[in-house]
Amino acid sequence: MESPATGSAEARVPLRWWEAPFSVLGTRGGSGVNKTEQLKAEKDGLDVGADIPRYAELGWEAIEEGDLDRLKWWGVFFRRHTPGHFMLRIRIPNGISNAAQLRAIAAVTNRRGRGIADITTRQQIQLRWIPFEDVPAILGELREVGLVTLQTGMDNIRNIIGCPAAGLTRNELFDASAVARAFTDVFVGDKAYTNLPRKFNVTITGCRENCTHAETQDVALVPATATVEGASVEGFNVLVGGKNGSGGYRIATPLDVFVRPAEAAELCSAIVLLFRDHGSRDARNKVRFAFLVEEWGETRLRAALEARLGRALERAGTDERLPKTTDHVGIFRQKQATLSYAGLSVPVGRITGDQLEEVARLAEAYGTGDVRLTPDQNIVIPNVPDAKLGNLTAEALLKVLRYEPSEIMRGLVSCTGIEFCNLAVIETKARALRIARTLETKIPHGKPVRIHWSGCPAGCGNHTVADIGLLGVKTRVDGHPVDAVDVFVGGSSGAQATPGVRILENVPCDALPTVLEGLIRHIEPERLRRQLRTLSPGGAVVSSRGGSARPRHDDAGRKPILLADEIREGSGKAVVVNGREVAVFRCQGQLYALQNQCPHAGGALAGGVIEADEVICPLHGYRFSVKTGACSTDPTLPAKTFAVVAENGGFTVDA
């Protein structure tokens, strides 16, 4: 019998993925109102698994358009930059792996993946350059070592992230990795969870050192204690509605709920199913869980959860997180006597098949064969006895994947970039490494700095929570389009989370070595974060493409006042009006206002170029009339317009 918080056990994926398609459908929420919803209504994404062998025989060109998207439910991604070759994303809950799994991944990487793989900010590994005819065999090889690629893309619960030193670090309230595995077991292969309105990110952590960027997640369980019947109980406080993309960083909201580890998977499941049943299915850039949290508020959401679970929820306990953060890079004593773990820096997460094979060897030779992946794209080898630690640090691989890297390289994180990603607008990984190596020669060793690169507004490089965050954009130099970035500073997650503030826009990437050297030398990120918290009434500062809203508002305090000369002809500016992000443009001497998020994929229209009376989205080039909002690229995607009215010697937007 199906419980109110979980899906149907009968709908699970069979042990052998090539078996007949599933006969039991999960509950559906909402109706199809956009292309993706229509795609899901026609055929569940998991059902494409039965077609993979046939397509492998026919060749990738025979894959139907809808199935090309549905393959993402199986973690198989078409990439237009590498036609005929696919990316495979491997689910690794909590980033906990082992030598056998790494050897299997290394073998595939070297045999069919051109020798490279990427560690992601969700503690997964992505394989590149995979010919589709090899996909069936590779999925089978991964299955043999306990790995699956299921539901790692599209409208699914993505890999559950957690502390990579779970069960090892002395700075944890308790080991939460079992909860991450238990929740993963609930939804992987279950169609009750494969038709969400949008992707869903979860972290479950007992670490007190804020190593998983909890505030960026749709649901975050963070370590807490509560007093129950006079006794102290360990568990989690629940945060909801965090995100990086779809309009920028929204800091997850405390739900005022405490949950014990034994009940945590059920609670997470209930939250996801509420999102499935009640989340909007309209424009893709407005359907993340954060928007339902904003619409309902924490009180209504908590009441709906209690109704679904059939019991009252305990109120939040004491947050046990520390003010500091860690990346787990270095040599650390474990809670187990005479054992240590070695955290190795993997710059931008790019690793070779040979290096994966060598990590597997070292994990067995010096530890117990266990390996961990981190949210900062690094590797941890645990359970190294004191007697073996010196020999491990002398190994050749640790001169490349260093446990004592420079501060520049240690804090370097990058998304995939345009090399392989369909959404990115600039190249990131190779450029990030090249610039970091230049900075290493100029910046004194010892000054910590986290530099994160995101190639598009989706924010997969977590640029919003870095000391220096770089967001890829396009700009023009001497009339020619070039790769550029917007520069954010002061971002952080943790109990005192602060969104990075955009201080520079459209900086050509060729100028970055000089710009970043100056910033690193003269900025003090933690001091800046303290100042930002002081300036912001709620403790958070929201920055938007096109510049932050000035602290001038109407009498109600909800609408920023724009001055007549504030926006130059042919340009735009982003402002926040009543909590809504709006782009204001000056075109032919008049001011016009549209929603800032592009209806196509969430690009920031305020940063676009204006031609005639149309603004061109900087992400994918969709064109919108600044006067009417009509989209000439796709007439089915109009942008919402708002009136610009005179007020108090300036202008406000009626939104």
> Catalytic amino acids?
89, 198-199, 455, 460-461
CB 638 within 8 A of CB 631: yes
Tell me the C-alpha distance between 156 and 162, whole Å.
18
Q: Which two tokens stand for residue 644?
A: 């610009």
Return the H-helix or E-strand segment holding 40.
Answer: helix 35-42
Beta bridge partners of 470: 453, 487
Tell me the C-alpha distance between 291 and 289, whole Å.
5
CB 639 within 8 A of CB 633: no
CA 598 and chain centroid, separation? 19
Burial 290-301, CB ≥16 within 10 A → b, else e: bbbbeebebeeb
Tell me the C-alpha distance between 608 and 56, whole Å.
41
Return the H-helix or E-strand segment holding 118.
Answer: strand 116-119
Count how many residues are written for the chain: 655
Q: Phi and psi at residue 99, in whole multiples of 5°?
A: -65, -40
CB 93 within 8 A of CB 184: yes
Nearby residues of 581 by Cβ (< 8 Å), 6 or more positions away: 247, 248, 544, 574, 575, 595, 596, 597
CB 6 within 8 A of CB 266: yes
3-class DSSP state for residue 373? strand
3-class DSSP state for residue 237? strand
Tell me the C-alpha distance between 259 and 547, whole Å.
40
Nearby residues of 651 by Cβ (< 8 Å), 6 or more positions away: 561, 562, 563, 564, 584, 591, 644, 645
Beta bridge partners of 615: 610, 624
Burial 221-254, CB ≥16 within 10 A → b, else e: bbbbbbeeeeeeebbbbbbbbbbbbbbbbbbbbb
Beta bridge partners of 202: 219
The burial of 413, by beta-carbon neighbours within 10 Å (0-12 exposed, 13-18 middle, 19 or more buried), is given as buried
CB 436 within 8 A of CB 453: no
- Listing DSSP states for 457-482 in one string gives TT-TT-GGGSSEEEEEEEEEETTEEE
Question: In 10 A of CB 445, how many CB atoms?
Answer: 8
* Residue found by looking up tokens 């549905």 in the block: 70
Helix ranges (H only) for 310-426 are 353-366, 386-393, 407-410
Tell me the C-alpha distance between 313 and 270, whole Å.
12
3-class DSSP state for residue 213? coil
Tell me the C-alpha distance between 339 and 210, whole Å.
23
Tell me the C-alpha distance between 353 and 360, whole Å.
11
Beta bridge partners of 562: 651
